[in-house]
Amino acid sequence: MRATPLQRLLSFIFGWGAALLLFFPIAWMVLTSFKSERDATSPGLFFAPSLDSYRDVFARADYLSFALNSVVISVGGTVLALLFAIPAAYAMAFHPTHRTRGTLLWMLSTKMLPPVGVLVPIYLLFRTAGLLDSRSGLVMIYALMNLPIVVWMLFTFYKEVPNEILEAGRMDGAKTAGEVWFLLLPLTLPGVASTGLLSLILCWNEAFWSLNLTSAGAAPLTAFIASFSSPEGLFFAKLSAASTMAVAPILVFGWFSQRQLVQGLTFGAVK
């Protein structure tokens, strides 16, 4: 589509305006993290940048261990969810029964329950199973937590695979589910990738289970943040520094993978 210069100008103004507005809070957080605590109390743009806050934060908490936990738990939860979800979504898309639709929606409805409603039962179960403060416990929780969304997203991908391809495959002699599966894999890889990315982001940012089921050993970055929110004294710069450090890995990761994420994040909405 050709655009007139006026159109281009308008979309430039609106597009960049919206982008800067939406990004402003994050930019401001990063900016504040380089201020001294005294400068951070006044919203000025000019100040002597310092790394003091980062130094303080590093001195007080073992950032790398928190970050490592975040990575391990998020990746583990995502992989586990995909392992369960891929066969399920495949079967639902290619071998639907009259119960498929109901099953899918029931799965989704399990996500609408506030997690705090089942905290004590889960805590008791985890205590009994010895899973408190363990990465594997959180991996399980995260896999289950994201399973409905992951199944549904994959399901919509598989549904978009033209039936003719399967037919062709069958004619070539791909009789078993396994063979069809290998035929499908390259076709749906972008879908699996973007589903995995979404799940990764959701795991990284989850702040209820990670706070309540861990103590020292398996605590991820959300617990790291909870030790910097509203301590005594002036804390805005330190809070900003800690926040920046907690958000940076996933943000940078998100920027680099956004093309893959965007490609697949359609939930079957594109016809």
Site string for another protein, 141-180 (x = CB under 8 A): ---x--xxx-x---x---xx-xxx-xx--x------x---
> How far apart, in Å, are the Cα atoms of 262 and each of 86, 202, 256, 270?
20, 15, 11, 12
Q: Report 216-235 residues binding another protein (CB under 8 A).
A: 216-217, 219, 221-223, 225-235
Site string for another protein, 92-111 (x = CB under 8 A): xxxxxx--xx-xxxxxxxxx
What is the amino acid identity at position 238? K
Q: Report 190-209 residues binding another protein (CB under 8 A).
A: 201, 204-205, 207-208
Q: Half-sphere exposure (CA, 13 Å, Cβ side) for 258?
A: 6
What is the amino acid identity at position 180? V
CB of 134 to another protein, least distance (A): 11
Examine residue 49 and tell whether it contacts another protein (CB under 8 A). Answer: no
Examine residue 185 and tell whether it contacts another protein (CB under 8 A). Answer: no
- Among 46-54, 71-79, 113-121, 183-191, which window interacts with another protein (CB under 8 A)? 113-121
> How far apart, in Å, are the Cα atoms of 132 and each of 128, 195, 212?
9, 28, 9
> How far apart, in Å, are the Cα atoms of 62 and each of 157, 205, 248?
41, 19, 16
Q: Report 13-42 residues binding another protein (CB under 8 A).
A: 14-16, 18-20, 22-23, 25-26, 28-29, 32, 37-38, 40-42
CB of 208 to another protein, least distance (A): 7
Tell me which residue of 199, 188, 198, 196 sits closest to 94, measured CA to CA: 188
Cβ-contact 102, 257 below 8 angstroms: no
Q: Which tokens sit at 155?
A: 């399901």
- Indicate the residue among 9 and 189 with the shorter CB distance to another protein: 9
CB of 239 to another protein, least distance (A): 6
Does residue 230 come out as left (phi exceeding 0), alpha (psi in the -120 to 50 range) or beta?
left
Site string for another protein, 117-146 (x = CB under 8 A): xxxxxxxxx-x----xx----------x--
Total residues at interface with another protein (CB under 8 A): 131
CB of 196 to another protein, least distance (A): 15
Examine residue 84 and tell whether it contacts another protein (CB under 8 A). Answer: yes
Examine residue 189 and tell whether it contacts another protein (CB under 8 A). Answer: no
Q: Read out DSSP for 149-188?
A: HHHHHHHHHHHHS-HHHHHHHHHTT--SHHHHHHHHHHHH
- Indicate the residue among 51 and 127 with the shorter CB distance to another protein: 127
Examine residue 7 and tell whether it contacts another protein (CB under 8 A). Answer: yes
As a whole number of angstroms, the distance between CA 242 and CA 250 comes to: 14
- Helices vs strands, H then E, count in the chain: 12, 0
Examine residue 182 and tell whether it contacts another protein (CB under 8 A). Answer: no
